[in-house]
Structure 1
Amino acid sequence: MQSLEAELTAARDLSIADLADAIESIGFECTRCGDCCTSHGDEAHTATVFPDEIRDLETAERGVDAAVRSGKTNLVPPPEDREWRDVARPMPYGLTEGADGLEGETFEWALQTDGCGDCAFYTEIDGTGACTAHDDRPLICRTYPFSVGLDGTSQPMGEAVDSVSLPGHEGDDEAGSVHAHECEGLGRDISRADAEALAATLKERAIRELEEAIGVRDSYEPVTPNAGEVVVHDSEGAKRLDGTPLEGD
């Protein structure tokens, strides 16, 4: 496995044209079914969100009054009342269930969910899925159902249902490929302009994931959480559930 720095260089060198070719060959059109924003069985919606994306969502306007029109106004307060915990929760991986709930250390933030396990920003209007912060949605949401296959990039969306190797990486899907994950919109026609726009965002996400991973690695200092306490390590250091730094305790 290459170093994260080498993978970051590879991500920065990705060709948007090659990524767009792969997206075009797979095909995609969003049907607004909502499957990528909702829970599945007992598994809550889990989507990685970076610290700066959380801050953007803290102040994001609720687009086209979607929350009001659907009646979903209680879970995501208006920007003037919104806090870190309204937007993000600790990634559950690595945490254990203690007497007072989840506890331990984890290394990412996930979008906050509602009581049904759906993304707190998801709603439905007349049976059609909608995001109440669509213009400020995180990179992982902007690029679903695609991901880039590089050693240092994460694959938080489950197993790939299709993969296309990028030029120079034929037969090596983990070192240079575009993965497609389960979505009813796959296989549909996509314009070249839309494929290139999606490819550019997909490249941005691959770079950001690696930059975040390097930041987490470089800022990580082990801590021993108290009983019932969760500590989240991100690229900015260790944080409490409300997003404030742990340092100084």
Structure 2
Amino acid sequence: MTADDAPLDLDIEDELERARDLEVDVLADAIESIGFECTRCGACCTRDGDDEHTATVFPDEVRDLEGATGDEWRDVARPMPYGLHETADGDLAGETFEWALQTDSCGDCVYYEEDDTGTGACVAHEDRPLICRTYPFSVALGGTSQPMGEPVDSVALETQSDAGEADDEAGILRAHECEGLGRDISREDATDLARALKERAVRELEEAISVRDNYEPATPGGESVVVHDSEGAKRIDGTSLEVDGKSE
């Protein structure tokens, strides 16, 4: 199988097992073969044309940022806009299934800053979410997950089967547009990045399964926007919302 071939069509539980079986060393090999070094250009932290910056964040990551920065939930995260619609009054309404990092008035990540030379920095770097830790890479495992955007490079993750034969169905490492691609990366940094990528792949699928299993159509009772995450239905401030009379 080449990196351009489509992976197998898996259901989400099979995909989760495959994510848990990812080998960090194999991921690190693939990362080294592409190469990466962050140039602090800020492109992954700022708006892209007409589109605001959008980076998925898990509920526990929102709380980590709350604790690290002293910000409140709605200062850290906003409802992912996909699935929402604009009302006649210009407000957003509807149900969505993820949280995104909050943006500023320019549409950039609220935690992105530039110094006098134009060099970018994350002011919450040590507590940044997994999607930020792993950009510009994602892992495609062949089922329901949708890696972010179109890749500019990819490598098949070939591993050894129990019989000692090459198994080329382990997935694909995808690299997305970034000026830091193609630069030398140390084995230590590649391994750290590979560990974070594996963790992210597992977490994304666990989150998706929990949302699927817990989802019930919301009866907002005055709430125009409802976010369904792995912990249940929430208001935009992160507080739990009752669904069909049950407290989540």
Do both proteins adopt the same fold according to a TM-score greater than 0.5, normalized to the shorter chain? yes
Aligned to 1:131: 122
Aligned to 2:36: 28
Out of 3, 6, 17, the position equivalent to 2:11 is 3
Aligned to 1:192: 187
Amino acid of the residue matched to residue 117 of structure 1? G
User: Is this contact kept in 2: 1:27–1:190, CA < 8 A?
Assistant: yes
What is the rounded CA distance, in whole Å, between the counterparts of 1:117 and 1:228 in structure 2?
Answer: 24
Aligned residues: 226
Aligned to 1:140: 131
What is the rounded CA distance, in whole Å, between the counterparts of 2:219 and 2:93 in structure 1?
Answer: 10
What is the rounded CA distance, in whole Å, between the counterparts of 1:224 and 1:104 in structure 2?
Answer: 11
What is the rounded CA distance, in whole Å, between the counterparts of 1:52 and 1:228 in structure 2?
Answer: 23
1:94 aligns with 2:94: no
What is the rounded CA distance, in whole Å, between the counterparts of 1:226 and 1:39 in structure 2?
Answer: 33
Q: Secondary structure at the match of 1:211?
A: helix
What is the rounded CA distance, in whole Å, between the counterparts of 1:60 and 1:152 in structure 2?
Answer: 33
1:230 aligns with 2:225: yes
Shift of 1:192: 0.8
Per-residue deviation, residues 10-37 of structure 1 (Å, max 9, x unmatched): 0010000110010000000000000000
Aligned to 1:37: 45
Which 5+ residue runs of structure 1 have no aligned equivalent? 62-78
Out of 196, 209, 213, the position equivalent to 1:201 is 196
Shift of 1:2: 2.0
Shift of 1:228: 7.0
Aligned to 2:146: 154
What is the rounded CA distance, in whole Å, between the counterparts of 1:223 and 1:198 in structure 2?
Answer: 38
What is the rounded CA distance, in whole Å, between the counterparts of 2:72 and 2:122 in structure 1?
Answer: 18
Shift of 1:115: 0.6
TM-score, structure 1 length as denominator? 0.87
Amino acid of the residue matched to residue 153 of structure 1? S
Q: Secondary structure at the match of 2:152?
A: strand
Shift of 1:154: 3.5
Shift of 1:60: 1.0
Per-residue deviation, residues 60-82 of structure 1 (Å, max 9, x unmatched): 14xxxxxxxxxxxxxxxxx1xx2
1:113 aligns with 2:121: no
Q: Secondary structure at the match of 1:59?
A: helix
Aligned to 2:23: 15
Shift of 1:239: 0.5
Which 5+ residue runs of structure 2 have no aligned equivalent? 1-8, 160-166
